[in-house]
Structure 1
Amino acid sequence: MSKVFSAHAVSVDGYITGRDPGAGRGLGDATMLFDWYFNGDTPSQVFDGFGLSEPSARIFDALAARVGAVVAGRNTYEDSDHFGGGSPHPTARLFVLSHRPAPEITERQTLITTGIQDAVAAARESAGGKDVGLMGGAVVTEALRAGLVDEVVLHQVPVLLGVGRPFFQSLPEHVRLRLVEAVPAPGVTHLRYEVER
């Protein structure tokens, strides 16, 4: 069965956006969380225009190659200007989890209003045996609460933002993780964890 995982760039103090994120403002003043996409001379084999360091390219492309569908939350969708009507991944269909209508949804996107379990199930069906990627702190937190997440990948950038949207929200209980890989790279450390069940 396909896996469900999240892979997010995050500050050392746990933020995935900076100050004042939103439609037309992207992720706020936290663009430095993504500098590592462009600080090397190894082109991504999956994403056009990305020039990463060799270790980052290896990790990034391995993760991106696994993705068959993406589930994103409404805040992420809005902050990213609806992903231009497509998806954050060049080949994976986007499923937007929201409890309110989204008239801007295109034929390349699917709105799910009935909860995280339905969103992940629909994404799995669409993924063709590949994995489901999760985007956004609320979506990842809901999926963790529901016991749906297999892996959490943190691309930890050495910056303290002090403000923004935190990656993880309140959980009803502890979620134990097991570190399976740690790869230091210029401007980022890639940490891959399995969720213990």
Structure 2
Amino acid sequence: MGTVIMHNVVSVDGFVADKNDDVGPLHDWYFNGDTPITGGADQDYDHSGAGTGIKVSRKSAEYVRSTWETIGTIVMGRHLFDLVNGWEGRPPSGDHVVVVSHRPKPEGWHSEASYHFVDGVTAAIDEAKELAGERTVAVNAGDVGGQILAAGLVDEVAMDVVPVVFGSGKRYFGSVDGQHLLEDPHVVIQGEGVLHLRFKVRR
């Protein structure tokens, strides 16, 4: 089975959005560089709706491209799914999405898309691993990500830290209780307007 990585873009003080789910300048670095993010056969990874394509700094491009290409399944909470309407059935990376939700998939919603609605974080990770095979399971940070971390199901924490202070809002680790130790970062990459960090979760 592949690695389970909890990931998100985050402010210096640990927020992924403000209280109204506005990400402010957190994603600006996706569009401020000169290197496009493309996959095999020039697959465009831009699902932002901006229509201009994602262009980041060269150092960020190498890291982001190599990371996204390993993803098999994304795990997200129902709140984020509703907020972005599940990216209209086209996730930014990977072939499958598992949504942690007590409610089923909306009736008639993109029946062709490999989206699976699962009640509970343990069952969601089991399903995501099965779908991903040897590829990575990417868990969106926030309340659901924090629950998955607290359950001991996360192998690594990846943060794209942007130099902005939010002061309040939606926390990267949600409302997770207690201490969870991480190893020293094994990835430290300085992009333009972003610092990429990855930590293995200490067992």
Same fold (TM over 0.5): yes
Counterpart of 2:117 in 1: which secondary structure? strand
| 1:35 aligned partner | 28
Where do residues 108-187 of structure 1 align in structure 2 (5 Å cutoff)?
108=113, 109-113=115-119, 115-178=120-183, 179-187=185-193
Give the partner amino acid of 2:32.
N
Unmatched runs of 5 consecutive residues or more in structure 2: 40-44, 47-52
1:86/1:106 contact within 8 Å kept: no
Indicate the residue corresponding to 1:76 in structure 2.
80
Name the CA distance, whole Å, in 1 between partners of 2:196 and 2:187: 8
Distance in 1 of aligned mates of 2:86 and 2:29? 23
Is 1:45 matched with 2:45? no
| 2:97 corresponds to 1:97 | no
1:193 equivalenced with 2:199 (yes/no): yes
Summarize the alignment of residues 5-20 of structure 1 with structure 2, pairs less than 5 Å apart: 5-20=5-20
Q: Deviations over 1:124-148 (max 9, x none)?
A: 1111310100013112111111111
Shift of 1:173: 2.7
Say which is worse superposed, 102-111 or 141-150, in terms of deviation. Answer: 102-111
Match of 2:61 among 53, 57, 63: 57
Indicate the SS of the match to 1:121.
Answer: helix
Checking the alignment, whether the CA contact within 8 Å between 1:42 and 1:52 is kept in structure 2 is: yes
Task: Indicate if the aligned counterparts of 1:88 and 1:94 stay in contact, CA closer than 8 A.
Answer: no
Report the RMSD for the aligned CA atoms in angstroms.
1.6
The Cα offsets for residues 62-111 of structure 1, whole Å up to 9 and x where unpaired, read as 1101100111001111221221133232x421111012334255331111
Please state how far the C-alpha of 1:171 moved relative to its aligned partner.
3.0
1:31 CA drift (Å):
3.4
Determine helix, strand or coil for the equivalent of 2:73: strand
Report the secondary structure of 1:8's partner residue.
strand
Letter of the structure 2 residue corresponding to residue 17 of structure 1: A
CA distance in 1, matches of 2:145, 2:97: 15
Q: How far 1:122 moved relative to its partner? A: 0.8
User: What is the CA–CA distance in structure 2 between the aligned matches of 1:174 and 1:92, rounded to whole Å?
Assistant: 33
Match of 1:70, as an amino acid? Answer: I
Deviation of residue 175 (structure 1)? 0.7
